[in-house]
Amino acid sequence: MVNVAIIAGLACKSSGYLQRAVEGAVMLVVVATNLGIAFGLPVPGCPTGYFGPGGIGDGGLYANCTGGAHLVVDLAIFGDSYLNQGGTPASVYETTGSWDPEGALNWLMVSFMAYIGYVLGGWFLNEPGWVRKTGLLLGSGAAMGLTGLVLCGFRINGGFIPINKNLWSLSFVLVVSGLACAVLAATFLLVDKFGIWGGTPLKQNGMNAIALYIGHEMLMNHAPFSWDRDTSSHVENTLSNLGGAV
C-alpha cells in the first residue's frame, strides 16, 4: 500500500506538498478501511469493535471473540487451516480456536506505519541542521504519541481504541511510532552529533539481525533470549521479554 501511495503521488506530476497530499490521502483511505471494518463489521456473539483478548479475559464474557472483526476477515480470505491455532494470547487468556496476529487488516496498519517512517525519514534527511532534525523527530513523536494515548484513554487496557499489538490498532501504531521517533532522536544526538556513544550493542545487533532472529526462534524459551517463567504472569512475561531484548 505504501508503493500505491507513492505511485499515486508521482502520477500527479508534481513535487512537494501536492505529492505528499496525494500520498497521504491514499494512506488515510487505508486507515479508514481498517477502522471501518474493525468497528463496523458485525461479529456473531461478540461486541462490535471488540479489541479484547477473549478467553478468560473480561470475565470470560467474550471467550470466543479473540480477534473480533480481524478474525472474521482472515477466515474469509485465508480459511481456518491457514491460521495459527490458539494464537499468542492462549498462554495467558486460555483462548481456543484459530487466530493469526499477521492477518489482512493488520497489514493495512503495518503499511501505514511504514509510510510514517518513509515520510519522517525523508524529512529528517532533508533538514539542514541537527537542531531542526531533532526538533522534527521530537515534535512528530510527541504528537503521535499523545494522539495514541488519547485514543486509548491513557489506559493500559481500554479506551476508544485500545493499544493492541496483535491487532495493530491505530493507538498502538501511533504510540510505537512516537516512541521510535524519540529513540531515533536520542540515538542521533548521542552517536552522530556529540559522539558520546558508538552504538554498541545496537550496531552489532543491526548487522546480525538474521542470526538473532534464527537464534530467537530456535532458543525461544532458553537464555539469552528468554527463560522459564510463569506464562500466566504479565510481570514475568514482561521481564523475560525485556531481558531477551537487552
Helix (H, G, I), strand (E, B) or coil at 79: coil
Quote the pLDDT of residue 15. Answer: 67
Average pLDDT over residues 229-241: 79
Where in the chain are the domains? 200-246
Task: Report whether pLDDT(98) > 90.
Answer: no
- Asked if 176 and 139 touch (Cβ cutoff 8 Å), the reply is no
- The DSSP output letter for 159 is S
- The DSSP output letter for 161 is S
d(C-alpha 87, C-alpha 103), whole Å: 12
Average pLDDT over residues 162-188: 96
Task: Report whether pLDDT(232) > 80.
Answer: no
Residues 61-90 pLDDT 10s: 999 999 999 999 999 999 988 887 767 788
Residue type, 244: G
Quote the pLDDT of residue 119. Answer: 94
Average pLDDT over residues 190-214: 91
Task: Report whether pLDDT(3) > 80.
Answer: no
Average pLDDT over residues 34-59: 93
Residue type, 236: E
**Where residue 40 falls among pLDDT bands split at 50, 70, 90?**
very high
Task: Report whether pLDDT(186) > 70.
Answer: yes
| Residue 50 φ/ψ region, left for φ over 0, alpha for ψ in the -120 to 50 degree band, beta for the rest | beta
Average pLDDT over residues 149-166: 93
Query: Considering the chain, what is the average pLDDT of its residues?
Result: 89
d(C-alpha 121, C-alpha 137), whole Å: 9
**Where residue 2 falls among pLDDT bands split at 50, 70, 90?**
confident
As beta bridge partners, residue 98 has: 85
Query: In Å, what is the CA distance from 58 to each residue of 32, 66, 160, 206?
Result: 27, 11, 16, 39
**Where residue 239 falls among pLDDT bands split at 50, 70, 90?**
confident
d(C-alpha 149, C-alpha 72), whole Å: 27
Helix (H, G, I), strand (E, B) or coil at 47: coil
Residues 124-134 pLDDT 10s: 999 999 999 99
Quote the pLDDT of residue 14. Answer: 64
- Which of 32-36, 49-53, 222-226 comes out lowest in average pLDDT? 222-226
Quote the pLDDT of residue 89. Answer: 80
Helix (H, G, I), strand (E, B) or coil at 97: coil
